[in-house]
C-alpha cells in the first residue's frame, strides 16, 4: 500500500458523510480542512497530500504542461489514491467518503470516479477538467456529483468541463453542473452551493 501524508479529523456528527479532501497544485493536507468544515460541519475529514512534486509543489499526478496530463501517471496515481482511501476507511472506521476536490484535486477525483467508482460515495468537483483523453465508461449507478466550473476560468475551457459532465452523466451518475461567474479560484458561491448540495445528498442517503 502506498502511504500518503495526511490529516484525519474524526466526525463530530455521526449523520454527516465522511469527506475526502483533495487540494490543488501547491497545496497540502491542511489546505481544505476549513472548506470541508464549512461545506459539511461535523463530517470526518480525510485529507491526503499529493505525492507528486512539481518544482516543490505537491500535486496528485504529473503533468507535461498546464492542462496537458501524463495520463499513464494519472491512472497509476488514481489507483494509488484509491488504495489509500480503502486502507484509511479500515484504519479510521469510516464509510465511503464524498470527495471535495479543487483544481488538480478535482481532476484526480474525476479520474478515480472513472477508474474505481466504488471508492467514493459521491464528489464535489471544483474547477475540474476531463483527466483522461480515452476514459473508460464505468457504471456510476446514480452516484451524486456536483461539478462547479468558472465561466472565466483560464485553465479549464467550458467545452472541457461540459464534456466531463456529459461523460459522468452517460455513465449513470446523478450530475449537477453549474457554471459560476468566477475564474479558477473558488468563490463564496462555491461554498454555499456545495453546502446546500451536500445537505440534500446526506438527507437522501439517510
Binding site for ligand MLT (CB under 6 A): 24-25, 63, 66-67, 103-104, 107, 155
State how far Cα 56 lies from the chain centre: 22
Q: Which residue out of 16, 40, 43, 103 is catalytically annotated? A: 103
23 catalytic? Reply is no
Estimate the crossing angle of helix 104-115 against helix 71-92, to 10 degrees. 80
Of 73, 118, 184, 187, catalytic: 184
Q: How far is the CB of 129 from ligand MLT (least distance, A)?
A: 7
Residue 66 C-beta: closest distance to ligand MLT, Å: 5
Give the residue with the Cβ less far from ligand MLT, 24 or 144.
Answer: 24
Catalytic-residue membership of 177: no
Q: Is 55 a catalytic residue?
A: no
Residue in 47, 153, 161, 171 annotated catalytic: 153
Please state the closest distance from residue 57 (CB atom) to ligand MLT, in A. 9
Catalytic residue numbers read 103, 153, 184
Amino acid at each position: 500500500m502506498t502511504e500518503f501524508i495526511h490529516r484525519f479529523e474524526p466526525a463530530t456528527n455521526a449523520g454527516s458523510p465522511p469527506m475526502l479532501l483533495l487540494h490543488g497544485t501547491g497545496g497540502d493536507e491542511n489546505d481544505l480542512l476549513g472548506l470541508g468544515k464549512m461545506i459539511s460541519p461535523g463530517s470526518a475529514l480525510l485529507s491526503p497530500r499529493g505525492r507528486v512534486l512539481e518544482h516543490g509543489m505537491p500535486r496528485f499526478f504529473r503533468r507535461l504542461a498546464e492542462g496537458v496530463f501524463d495520463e499513464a501517471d494519472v491512472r497509476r496515481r488514481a489507483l494509488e489514491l484509491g488504495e489509500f482511501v480503502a486502507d484509511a476507511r479500515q484504519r479510521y472506521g469510516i464509510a465511503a467518503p464524498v470527495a471535495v476536490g479543487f483544481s488538480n484535486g478535482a481532476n484526480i477525483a474525476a479520474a478515480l470516479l472513472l477508474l474505481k467508482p466504488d471508492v467514493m460515495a459521491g464528489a464535489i468537483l471544483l474547477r475540474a477538467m476531463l483527466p483522461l483523453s480515452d476514459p473508460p465508461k464505468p457504471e456510476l449507478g446514480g452516484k451524486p456529483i456536483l461539478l462547479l466550473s468558472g465561466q472565466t476560468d483560464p485553465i479549464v475551457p467550458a467545452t472541457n468541463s461540459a464534456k466531463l459532465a456529459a461523460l459522468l452523466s452517460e455513465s449513470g451518475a446523478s450530475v449537477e453542473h453549474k457554471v459560476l461567474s468566477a475564474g479558477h479560484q473558488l468563490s463564496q458561491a462555491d461554498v454555499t452551493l456545495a453546502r446546500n448540495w451536500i445537505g440534500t445528498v446526506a438527507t437522501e442517503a439517510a
